[in-house]
Chain A
Amino acid sequence: MAKNITYKCPTCGGDLAWNANTKSFKCKYCEDEFTNEQLEALGENHIDEEKVEKHRELEGDKSQYRSTDGTENGDLVAYTCSHCGAEIITNRTTAATICVYCQNPVVMSEQVIGDFSPKYVIPFKVDKSKVMDAFKRFSKKPLTPKDFNPDNVVEKMQGVYVPFWLYSAKASGMISGEGTTQRSYRNGNNEYSETSYYNFTRSGSVTVDQVPVDASKKIEDDAMDSIEPYDYRDITEFSPSYLAGFLAERYDLNADQCYERAELRIKNTLKEELEKTAQYDSVNITSFNSEVEVKSKDYALLPAWLLYTKYEGKNYLFAMNGQTGKFIGNLPIDKIKLTVFTALGAIGGFLAGFAGYFMFM
């Protein structure tokens, strides 16, 4: 029978999920723990591509359906939970989720095989309790509205494996520009400033490894950029078991579609690195040309905690790097607080300016 994957405890048959604290798979019932290698040895990670469950298209008006796992209500499809048999309605690009009825992790095997099979994964290192604390600390900013209570929304924070393309490349190019050096000296009673002007060129190359670009249309690019960098010392070969207990997305932007963003970053870095070698006091770049030779582009799933919430009708996304704990997001701003603080600053500035006039004039 075609089915999705749920990971069973070899001891008691309960469901396993990844534990970020112990970096192992933990049974929800008997609390036994297993490494990925142990699961591999037991054949738990093997996906029989002939037997994977394909998604089912929803019948009738799709706008009448809501996702059962809290994923975006857009292009929805249906799966069957291998554990309890309930219908899971989720986004077309969801690769792993949690069954809302039996609370067991389910991996959609059709989303992690063939072209969608990731090469690498970085397992979660930050667990939900740390995320909650971090969000509460993060939201305590002077302009945060009083009624924006992190306790009310933090439970909605979801661990998500986000699809990324990792580009390794060699960038070569040349910059040219004008540089100046300055020195001061005394001659008799006079002090002089001397500026020397040079034309310079620098040609060279830099190698970059695994520049990440998120490959999901629905996840904000600037949010994923902001939680970087990831530490690749933890990157490992992909195994579907790592997805157990988390949501996961598969890519819906291919490597060519994402390349433009990677190329821009790589070229800017080359320019900056070449500029650093022009050791003048000031540098004005007048031309820059470059080319990028891509050595590899690998598909990887990287961990992030995401919270989508609404405040006064506006959508907010908060994100935390699931490996390093870096937290980012744009908090709502209390306009009254902003007005009061700006006014206090202006009054302080006025008094300082006014008093300063009489002190120094």
Chain B
Amino acid sequence: MTVGKRIVLQTGIFFIFFFLFSVCAFAEGGGGSAVSAVITGLVGALIVGLITAVVLISMSRTKTRSTQADHYVSSDVSLSDKTDRFLRKETRRVSND
């Protein structure tokens, strides 16, 4: 199993675990908005868990394939032709006070 699949699997397991445990706990307590709070917490858990794993793994992995040669450009780009044609303008109201 690749590391990426492993992270998704682990985070998924945590997600299910928290969901079951927390929803049960709050339903037992009769909390109405508590269920919404738990769901918000679960979303937070999923996002932060994934970010933590991705950041930590990226610290251990530094090999990448180069697709650019920008270090080796010896002179600025020389433009031989340049056109800019106006198409249209769209205006929308963002707010009114």
Contact = CB atoms under 8 A, between A and B. Distances in A.
Interface of A: 141-144, 174, 178-179, 184, 189-211, 220-223, 225-226, 228-229, 262, 264-266, 268-270, 272-274, 276-277, 327-333, 335, 338-339, 341-354, 356-358, 361
A342 B11 contact: yes
21 contacts: A190-B95, A192-B94, A197-B90, A198-B84, A198-B86, A201-B81, A204-B78, A265-B69, A269-B72, A270-B77, A330-B61, A333-B57, A338-B6, A342-B11, A346-B15, A346-B46, A349-B45, A349-B47, A350-B48, A354-B40, A361-B33
Nearest to B52: A345
Interface in B36-76: 36-38, 40-49, 51-53, 56-57, 59-76
B56 A143 contact: yes
B32 to A, nearest CB: 12
Contacts of A353: 37, 40-45
A197 B49 contact: no
A90 to B, nearest CB: 26
Contact of A211 (B40, B72, B77): B72
B5 interface: no
Interface of B: 3, 6-7, 10-11, 14-15, 18, 22, 33, 36-38, 40-49, 51-53, 56-57, 59-97
Nearest to B82: A202
Nearest to A212: B72
Interface centre among B44, B46, B64, B69 (most CB of A within 10 A): B69
A269 B77 CA distance: 10
B60 to A, nearest CB: 4
A207 B70 CA distance: 10
A24 to B, nearest CB: 28
A348 to B, nearest CB: 6
Nearest to A201: B83
Contact of A350 (B45, B63, B65, B89): B45
